[in-house]
Amino acid sequence: MFRRTEKPGKPNNSNNSAPSGNGKRPGRENDNNIQGLAEKLKPRSHVLVWAAITFVVTFAIFLISLVPPQVELKVGEVSPIDVRATKEVVDEAATEALRAEVIAGVSEVYDSNPRVLDEIKVLFDDLLSKIGTLAAAEDISTQDIVREIRPFVPDSVSDTDIIGLVATSPAIVETSINKAQQIVEDILSRGLKSENLEKGKQDAISQLEADDSIPDQVTRVLAGFINKNMKPNLILNQEETEKKIRQALASVETVKIRRDEFIVRKGEVVTENHIVLLEKLGIMGARVRFSQISGAFLIAVLFCGFAGVYLVTYHTDMLTPKNTALLSLVVILSLVALKVLTGVSGFLAPVAFGVMLSATLIDRRFGVFFGAGLALVSGVLTGFEVKYVALALTSGIAAALAVQKVWNRAQLFRAGVVVAIVSGITYTCLGLTGAMAMDEVSVWRELMLVLVNGPLSAVLAVGSLPIFETVFGILTPIRLLELSNPEHPLLHRLLLEAPGTYHHSIMVGNLAEAAAMAIGADSLLARVGAYYHDIGKIKRPYLFTENQVFDMENPHDRMSPSLSSTAIISHVKDGVELAREHKVPEQIIDFIKEHHGTGLASYFYAKAAEEAAAKSEKPPEEWTFRYEGPRPHSKETAIVMLADSIEAATRSLSRPTPARIESVVRKIIQERLFDRQLDKSDLTLRELDTIAETFVQVLTGLFHTRIKYPNLRNNDNKVKTDNDVIDGAGEEDDG
């Protein structure tokens, strides 16, 4: 394990304002401290500005959704515009019309009354018997005849017809009565309702009148008999009929006008029902209610408030000018896309787009949280219909799970396919469980929209990512992999113009990646940063030993130590300039600036001190031979600093045994600790120990088959021993 002790032979400078190895010209450290203090004291105005912008946009979107555009229409006039439903609404008039239609289609329940037929048979028999008795009587007056027959017929039957009936031949009377009785029985046998009674009587009388064998006076009396005594034999069962109606109405669904369906079309005559529906939707009239505005405001406060609490609790690193702007624009873009596409159809709510974008640019945990928030927003925008909220929520979760590791843009399209599959299953489940109405007309159109949602979200995410990566310099895994492509102009130039440096950078990348992975740092960032850390050597590759062939004269033999130091140190500045010319992200440029920190170009400093001593002059100022820094401020840049020095040092070992490799690795790390180069990197001593073990493991595997090389010579043409390598560790750039 490493300990933070002072290097033997050096004074303890821990209490000094400018400790040993700070690498700054006099006064520079103090200036930076003052600037840093000012930055800390500076109010986070950028956070408030972007928070305000995000809130205003969120409030505006909610307000537009909750307060629909107002219309002015009157009954009887022709509508000048198309008006669509802003949310689902019940059409009471259509529902009542449907209920009336169903009721009208229900057949009434009737009970048959057999006594009606029996009673009229008895009456026919009594009439026939009474006529026979009266016809056989010898001394009976016409008044007595009328009095005896009158109970069987109404007053509309004349006395003359009654007397004529009795005077008619008994055989004809009997035949006529039997025919009348048969006609009535036939009609009653088919069932006669109250409402059809008059029609039944008329049918019976018409049949009698059509029979020429029956005398007229007999027909008239029998017609009167039928009118008075014929009754319906089917009686309405009110209770059963109402029960049947209730059963029929139970299957009648409320008529609803779905969101975005037409209420009234342009050119259509406005009806009273149109006005009722428009008033229900709250879009009739120009008055905006205070409750609508306050509701939109409170929802926006909740949405932004939850997001703020989440950031303060879990993502304080986002509270920087650039990150706050990034976060706000991601939220705003997602909300705008949500508003626009839900305006087309609630099934197109691109919650997955917001999740893909935030999970890729920020992190997956934030993506899950953001997806839940967007699902609730989609509920507001779609009138909180269960199907829309459920689909939005499941698509967001599916997107978050599908973008755990996005290494290329094609993976976003695959995530879109996953979202489509999950959304399709969700839609089917909602339909099968009855959570939403499905009909053959709309089901396929809706399912198509559901399946399109995922790929559409992926297209939006892929199209938006490069914009955010460019504007904010975001290093997504996708962008890092693109930067690691050997065909990148800078890497290609490095390979052709400084092949030794290129090979060194690849090796440093391998070491840095393994070490970063071992301690849980960003291994991909460390590897790609290592590829670019020495691109400044492209400008003067011949000044660096790894690019010098064996017979090549070392240019530093003809240069003063101070000039050599300046030339070597300038590769950092040259690298930064080249990187910015090629639009390399700032996070990668940090590796270029920090891979030497404020370290000392010790070889040239020692050489200059030696020359000064030979001339009995004062030794040079140490700071003039130090890199300008800054020191590594992240674990990844610190790892690359260590890997850079260690790779160069171990490459020069004549006998790279595991023990020698470990000695070099730990000595270099200890040197960087003593020189205070790792103070701002947040690396712990335990992590440094893990890094050392990883470096040793990788390098041992690399060198285990290597043969012994001829002795190397240093810049004084002396044989370079392993101790020279260790003491000059990190001076791979010194010519």
Q: Smallest Cα–Cα separation from 547: which of 580, 603, 608, 505?
A: 505
362-376, 570-584, 693-707, 714-728: segment of lowest average pLDDT: 714-728
For residue 558, the 8-state DSSP code is G
pLDDT at 724: 47
Distance CA 461, CA 201 (A): 82
Q: HSE, CB side, 13 Å, CA atoms: give it for residue 614.
A: 6
Distance CA 537, CA 559 (A): 18
Mean pLDDT calculated for residue range 52-60: 92
pLDDT at 44: 62
Per-residue pLDDT at 677 exceeds 70: yes
pLDDT at 561: 83
Q: Which regions of 460-612 does DSSP assign to beta strands (E)?
A: none
3-state SS, residue 193: strand
| pLDDT confidence bin for 364, thresholds 50/70/90 | confident
Q: Is the separation of the CB atoms in 84 and 71 below 8 Å?
A: no
Distance CA 24, CA 605 (A): 16
Task: Give kind and range of the element (H or E) at residue 165.
Answer: helix 159-167
Q: With pLDDT > 70 as the criterion, what percentage of the chain qualifies?
A: 87
| pLDDT confidence bin for 288, thresholds 50/70/90 | low
Q: Is the separation of the CB atoms in 263 and 257 below 8 Å?
A: yes
Q: With pLDDT > 90 as the criterion, what percentage of the chain qualifies?
A: 43
Q: Is the separation of the CB atoms in 546 and 504 below 8 Å?
A: yes
3-state SS, residue 234: strand
Q: How many Cβ atoms sit within 10 Å of the Cβ of residue 126? A: 12
pLDDT at 249: 86
| pLDDT confidence bin for 699, thresholds 50/70/90 | very high
Distance CA 726, CA 190 (A): 120
Highest mean pLDDT among 474-478, 654-658, 669-673: 669-673
- pLDDT tens-digit series, residues 583-603: 899 999 999 999 999 998 888
Higher pLDDT, 557 or 479: 479
Per-residue pLDDT at 8 exceeds 60: no
Mean pLDDT calculated for residue range 137-163: 90
pLDDT at 717: 40
Mean pLDDT calculated for residue range 405-409: 74
Per-residue pLDDT at 384 exceeds 60: yes
Q: Is the separation of the CB atoms in 285 and 72 below 8 Å?
A: yes
CA–CA distances in Å: residue 5 to residues 10, 622, 638, 678: 11, 22, 19, 14
- The two structure tokens encoding residue 691: 């890094």
Per-residue pLDDT at 17 exceeds 60: no
Distance CA 375, CA 353 (A): 12
Per-residue pLDDT at 287 exceeds 70: no
Distance CA 357, CA 462 (A): 8
Mean pLDDT calculated for residue range 254-271: 82
Q: Smallest Cα–Cα separation from 187: which of 196, 174, 177?
A: 196
- pLDDT tens-digit series, residues 429-481: 988 887 666 666 678 888 999 999 999 999 999 999 888 888 887 888 888 98
Per-residue pLDDT at 646 exceeds 80: yes
Per-residue pLDDT at 5 exceeds 70: no
- The two structure tokens encoding residue 271: 């009806």
Cβ-Cβ contacts under 8 Å for 260 (sequence gap 6 or more): 84, 85, 345
End-to-end CA gap in the chain: 33
Assess whether the previous peptide bond of 630 is cis (omega < 30° from 0): yes
Domains of the chain from N-terminus onward: 110-236 (no CATH), 288-459 (no CATH), 480-727 (1.10.3210.10)
pLDDT at 262: 81
Per-residue pLDDT at 651 exceeds 50: yes
Distance CA 232, CA 187 (A): 10
389-403, 466-480, 706-720: segment of lowest average pLDDT: 706-720
pLDDT at 437: 64
pLDDT at 439: 66
pLDDT at 29: 43
| pLDDT confidence bin for 729, thresholds 50/70/90 | very low
Per-residue pLDDT at 680 exceeds 90: yes
Taking all residues of the chain, what is their mean pLDDT, rounded to a whole number?
84
- pLDDT tens-digit series, residues 525-546: 999 999 999 999 999 888 888 8
pLDDT at 705: 52
pLDDT at 645: 94
Mean pLDDT calculated for residue range 376-388: 85
Per-residue pLDDT at 337 exceeds 80: yes
Per DSSP, helices labelled H in 282-363 are 290-314, 321-344, 351-361
- pLDDT tens-digit series, residues 208-249: 999 989 999 999 999 999 999 999 998 888 898 889 888 888
Pairing type for strands 234-236 and 110-112 reads: antiparallel
Q: How many Cβ atoms sit within 10 Å of the Cβ of residue 411? A: 20
309-318, 477-486, 573-582: segment of lowest average pLDDT: 309-318
Cβ-Cβ contacts under 8 Å for 233 (sequence gap 6 or more): 112, 113, 114, 116, 117, 188, 191, 192
Mean pLDDT calculated for residue range 246-255: 85
Q: Is the separation of the CB atoms in 592 and 532 below 8 Å?
A: yes
| pLDDT confidence bin for 1, thresholds 50/70/90 | low
CA torsion through residues 129, 135, 140, 141, sign: positive
pLDDT at 81: 81
Mean pLDDT calculated for residue range 38-47: 56
Q: Which regions of 569-724 does DSSP assign to beta strands (E)?
A: 712-713, 719-720
Distance CA 323, CA 507 (A): 33
For residue 362, the 8-state DSSP code is T
pLDDT at 6: 44
Q: Is the separation of the CB atoms in 261 and 387 below 8 Å?
A: no
Per-residue pLDDT at 671 exceeds 90: yes
Higher pLDDT, 437 or 731: 437
Q: How many residues does the chain have?
A: 735
- pLDDT tens-digit series, residues 114-125: 999 999 999 999
CA torsion through residues 17, 22, 27, 32, sign: negative
403-407, 441-445, 609-613, 709-713: segment of lowest average pLDDT: 709-713
- pLDDT tens-digit series, residues 82-108: 887 777 788 888 888 888 888 888 888
This prediction's pTM: 0.60
Cβ-Cβ contacts under 8 Å for 660 (sequence gap 6 or more): 653, 722
